[in-house]
Amino acid sequence: MSTLLFQIRSANDMIRLVENVGFLPFFKNPIPGFSIEECCPRELWFSDDADGPWEWKGPAARSGRCVYGKFFRNKAGFVSREWFPDFANYRRDGYDFDARFDDDLASYKDKGVFDTVLQNGALLSKELKKLCNYRKGGNKGFDTVITRLQMQTYINIADFVYMKDKYGQVYGWGVAKYSTPEAQFGYDFVTSAYRREPEESRERIISHLKTILPDADTEQLLKLMK
């Protein structure tokens, strides 16, 4: 059975594990033990007395040490700063977003959301929806579009912001703040693996993961990373 044999008890633990393994899904997946969910004690997930993974996501996302988004089979997870350039090169398949759109490989809805984040900087999900007219009587399918852009690594989640009531008390779930990896980490850094063919980046990633997860099938890893 593949397992990371590491127990997460703090945001820093989570960041260090991401840095050590390079890629870390948030939730259980077909590779046993390869998730934050399985590495963190259950009592910390919904504790009234202590923060847990839900609260740690924001500090990790804005730490500059890893990148967060829906990266693994349309579900959330982290990629380390070290491995993100190869990850982006592979997922983008050699395309900057404009080139992808020009080749009819991205929709007008995708372009609308991407350009809005690019032009306005980091935006809360509710701000982005408003600017792109994803509300009653307007555009539909925001979740599909924003997930696709994250899977292609053109958009990431840079932070989570908590709302406050009139008394200044925090309430509810953190609201995602969307950005581009280039805005958060710099264009030259994010595109630094573009000198390699996307297939070479894929092979580098799979070879690395095989050293971390020797019991995982190559097919499992490819399905998770494609």
Residues in Cβ contact with 66 at an 8 Å cutoff, skipping those fewer than 6 apart? 15, 18, 19, 60, 78, 79, 80, 81
Looking at residues 6-21, what average pLDDT do you find? 93
CA–CA gap between residue 67 and residue 63 (Å, rounded): 9
Give the contacts of 140 (CB within 8 A, at least 6 positions apart): 134
Give the pTM. Answer: 0.93
Interval 38-63: pLDDT, tens: 999 888 887 777 788 999 999 999 99
pLDDT class for 151, splitting at 50, 70, 90? very high
**More reliable by pLDDT, 73 or 44:** 73
Q: Where are the domains of the chain?
A: 11-225
* Torsion sign (Cα): 27, 72, 31, 63: negative
Q: Determine the average pLDDT of the residues in 8-16.
A: 95
Helix segments in 93-197, DSSP class H:
97-102, 108-120, 125-131, 142-151, 181-185, 187-190
CB atoms near residue 177 (< 10 Å): 21
Is the per-residue pLDDT at 36 higher than 90? yes
Distance of CA 136 to CAs 59, 129, 133, Å?
Answer: 33, 11, 8
Number of other CB atoms surrounding residue 218 within 10 Å: 11
What is the band of 210 on the pLDDT scale with cuts at 50, 70, 90? very high
